[in-house]
Amino acid sequence: MSEVEKDGVVPARNAHARGLTRIVDAMGRYGTRNHTIKSMRDLKGKRVLVETLAFTPEEAAAAEVAGIDTMKVRFDPERPELAAALRKAAPNTFMSFAVQMSVATSEETALKVAFAAMNVGADALMCQWSPRFIRALAEAGIPAQGHAGLVPRKSTWTGGLRAVGKTLDEALWIYEEIKALERAGAWAVEVEVIPAQLLAEISKRTTLLTSSIGAGGGGDIQFLFAQDILGDGPAPFPRHSKQYRDLQKMRDAMQQERIAGFEEFIADVRSGSFPGPEHVVNARADMIEAFAAAADKT
């Protein structure tokens, strides 16, 4: 067996050498992580962390090998198997499970969802829930990350999918939203599409780690979706993103190759060139003649 034991847990003798920290998760399982809440908090104002949201196990595994600091994955308590597969693909990366607003309607259901996520392997929960729900998680010892600025599922309150915080009233409102999450016990906040200068000022005035998506370089964490980084989707991509690869172009080319392959197969069958002599098994002529004679008698 390699130095990475079952389920990706690195033995104690090798964990330090690989820059990993041994942990026990909320369910009592031993593991290793590249970061803990404390180690990331200790880096606030010193080094910008790098974060992505992975959609597939292949993306999660690639991000871990590349050295991503922290990762988000989507978690559906009714279908936990995808998040479980992503956790297994990146066993040593600090991972927050992102949940839909609608899965919790009370502190009690929020806790049930959060513990379900922790049972699958989450290190933290990412949500758009109110400070009241986040306080319940914090009191239970579950690290929670909130969401401020442009929150797409709440965008009707801020005028649709647009930048938020370009007026003094909006800037102060965002700041108070973040401070409310801080008071509730959150450890981080995703800040989406606000002015870069505003996030830089807010980051200096909160103990939360600020994860910037479309909010400039003034946050503690720089966040982009894996689909945006890899160019793995139809254009246009969000204005605030950058594509480092063009997997969509490769997928389109692969689809054209699939079509061409099927077309050539159809043409070969219709012309009689497939199957050829090299594709078939032959029998002796006298055996086939004997078979035909016997079959005709029956």
The domain segmentation of the chain, as residue ranges, is: 1-33, 44-245, 251-297
**Model pLDDT, residue 6:** 56
192 is catalytic: yes
Query: Which one, of 151, 223, 143, 227, lies nearest residue 187 by Cα?
Result: 143
Angle among Cα 136, 110, 158 to the nearest 5 degrees reads: 95
Q: What is the pLDDT of residue 2?
A: 45
Positions of the chain with pLDDT under 70 = 1-17
Q: What is the CATH number of domain 44-245?
A: 3.20.20.60
Tokens describing residue 121: 């392997």
Predicted local distance difference test score (pLDDT) of residue 3: 45
CA-CA distance, 39 to 23, in Å (whole number)?
13
pLDDT single digits (tens) 233-288? 888 898 899 999 999 999 999 999 999 999 999 999 999 999 999 999 999 999 99
Q: How confident is the model at residue 279, as a pLDDT?
A: 96
Q: Where does residue 117 rank: exposed (0-12), middle (13-18), buried (19+ CB within 10 A)?
A: buried
Provide the 3-class DSSP secondary structure of residue 230.
helix
- Alpha helix positions (H), 121-274: 131-139, 168-184, 196-203, 226-230, 247-271
- Contact between 100 and 147 under an 8 Å Cβ cutoff? The reply is no
Q: What is the pLDDT of residues 120-129, one digit of tens each?
A: 999 999 999 9
Q: Is the pTM of this model over 0.85?
A: yes
Nearest residue to 168 via CA among 137, 194, 188 = 194
Distance CA 131, CA 212 (A): 20
pLDDT at 235: 83
Q: Which residues contact 225 (CB under 8 A, 6 or more apart)?
A: 52, 53, 55, 241
Residue 225 main-chain phi, psi, to 5 deg:
-65, 145
Q: Which is catalytic among the residues 192, 257, 263, 289?
A: 192
- pLDDT for res 231: 96
